[in-house]
Amino acid sequence: METEFNCHFCDVCDGYGCVGQMPGMGGPNASRNFILNCAAWKSVGKGPFEPEEIEVRLAPMTGAVENVGYFDEKQFYFDLVASCVESGIKITIGDGTPDFKLFWGIEAVEFYQKKNPSLKAGVFIKPYPDEKIFERYERAMGIMEFGGIDIDSYNIITMRNLVHLEKKSASDLIALKKFLSSKGIPFAVKGVFNSEDIEVMEEVKPDIVCISNHGGRVDVRQGSTAEFLKENYRRLKNCCGRLWVDGGIRTMEDVRTASTFGADGVMMGRPFATALCQKKSFSEVLK
């Protein structure tokens, strides 16, 4: 089947090739934060820790048809999980609207669990009203490595209005953390990208904090995730078990740079989506 993908497969994925493409692979304001994310890993310098090869994980991705240009939404999740399994990349799934975007991601992981019963995935849910979050956690419980909230998606105004997303307080997040802790599952918060977020994390103390601006698609403030990590890793390391970062990471040198600022892991989205479209092994992405 011939498919016209929205990715242009640029030699260097740095945000310039898809400017103005939303839906698509670009970001708002002429991909401003997407471009900054990519550039900053080359200019941010090195932190105080010795560089390490830390965990690299698939970032949660949905909207395969409208954003990636994939030929089938359900098949995207199955192909994405299959490529992660084949390449030994840890899996994270997310949700979206309609609900099948989450359910097909869960089904894909469940399918490969039949061959590998130990297979698990991180699951990020958008900040819906609590009842809906709990329902989604329960549906994903059989595959869940950790459960998380994607707080930065609240700042995507069209999505917020469409599915009634909420700005979660520290007490809201603590309640979700307690629910997952009662099931023996770690709690993660993705989308930390301003000083208010850090203050909330200091109160919540999640198991995992992920610095993120949704791949540059959230533009409430100008800046890169690399610079935010550099400026705030000390405070964040003191209030979580593990510190992750995503946005603009393209090479193993970028991964090692993140590690020098205390990151325990990184998540990547666009490079894996591009590899899938080009039928490349995910293990080749960082070479």
Q: Which pLDDT tens digit goes with each residue over 197-254? A: 999 999 999 999 999 999 999 888 999 999 999 999 999 999 999 999 999 999 999 9
Superfamily classification of domain 48-281: Aldolase class I (3.20.20.70)
First to last CA, the chain: 29
Residue type, 253: E
Q: What are 97's two structure tokens?
A: 């609207």
- Within 13 Å, how many C-alpha atoms sit on residue 145's CB side? 18
Confidence band for 158, pLDDT divided at 50, 70 and 90: confident
Taking the C-alpha atoms of residue 84 and residue 207, their distance in angstroms, rounded to an integer, is: 24
**Residue 20 clears pLDDT 80, i.e. is over it:** yes
- Among 257, 269, 213, 268, which Cα is nearest to 233's? 257
Q: What percent of the chain has pLDDT over 90?
A: 90
Residue 72 exposed, middle or buried by CB count within 10 Å (0-12, 13-18, 19+): middle
Q: Parse the chain into domains and list their residue ranges.
A: 48-281
Q: What percent of the chain has pLDDT over 70?
A: 99
The pLDDT assigned to 163 comes to 84
Q: What are 240's two structure tokens?
A: 């979580």
Instruction: Assess contact for 32 and 219: CB atoms under 8 A.
Output: yes
The pLDDT assigned to 2 comes to 55
Give the 3-state DSSP-derived string for the chain, with helices as H, strands as E and coil as C.
CCCCCCCCCCCCCCCCCCCCCCCCCCCHHHHHHHHHHHHHHHHCCCCCCCCCCCEEEECCCCCHHHHHCCCCHHHHHHHHHHHHHHHCCEEEECCCCCCHHHHHHHHHHHHHHCCCCCCCEEEEECCCCHHHHHHHHHHHHHHEEEEEEEHHHHHCHHHHHHHCCCCCCHHHHHHHHHHHHHCCCCEEEEEECCHHHHHHHHHHCCCEEEECCCCCCCCCCCCCHHHHHHHHHHHHHCCCCEEEEECCCCCHHHHHHHHHCCCCEEEECHHHHHHHHCCCCHHHCCC
Total residues belonging to the chain: 287
Residue with tokens 């949905």: 62
- Strand 144-150 and strand 208-211: the pairing is unpaired
**Residue 287 clears pLDDT 80, i.e. is over it:** no
Mean pLDDT on 10-18: 95
